[in-house]
Chain A
Amino acid sequence: EDQVTQSPEALRLQEGESSSLNCSYTVSGLRGLFWYRQDPGKGPEFLFTLYSAGEEKEKERLKATLTKKESFLHITAPKPEDSATYLCAVREAGNTGKLIFGQGTTLQVKP
């Protein structure tokens, strides 16, 4: 069964303190790993898609990487506006296009 597990559940950082979020996955044939950002009371916003091991994507202070078993979202010198819940998802095998989501990591960056 396809599965996605994110850790930690919650992370508190001081402004400027770099860290990483983890997304471990089990899927029969990866057809895309997706990172989203979700602010309280809002829908998730797309950040990155990764397809193959070794792939990296960057956007401002965020960098996503992918191995055969997990993905990391690295946050460099975070700012308070980076505070949000970060969701990881993998596309299910087959042609449904369905995404399977992890529980999310809630990040709080204190000034």
Chain B
Amino acid sequence: DGGITQSPKYLFRKEGQNVTLSCEQNLNHDAMYWYRQDPGQGLRLIYYSQIVNDFQKGDIAEGYSVSREKKESFPLTVTSAQKNPTAFYLCASSIAGNSLYGYTFGSGTRLTVV
């Protein structure tokens, strides 16, 4: 079945450490997105990519980095510069343009600073 796979489901980060969240899709979607979700807040866009080897900053990109070397993969690195990284991270993909279905989401990664 086609879908988006995020891993790991739970991730713990020590102070000063970089960690990478994986996102893989087999839907043949062109566009991929990373959102952060905090309690009581809506989803906030971190980065997005519409084609391979190209990506743009979202509303809260500081302290994060991404790459898009393959159409299927859009990993997110949470760097030590992100001072409050504890959150639920969601990866999504869509057919570029006016998709009737908006996004397809992964199951999320919960990141906790220890």
A residues whose Cβ falls under 8 Å from a Cβ of B: 4, 9, 31-32, 34, 36, 41-46, 49, 87, 89, 91, 95-99, 101-104
Contacts and interface: CB of A to CB of B under 8 A. Distances in A.
A103 B110 CA distance: 18
B98 A34 contact: no
B8 interface: no
Interface of B: 4, 6, 31, 33, 35, 40-43, 45, 48, 50, 56, 58, 88, 90, 92, 94, 96-108, 110
Contacts of B42: 4, 87, 101-104
B102 A99 contact: yes
A42 B43 CA distance: 13
Contacts of A43: 4, 6, 90, 92, 105-108
Contacts of B98: 31-32, 91, 97
A99 B31 CA distance: 12
Nearest to B101: A46
Contacts of A4: 42
A111 to B, nearest CB: 26
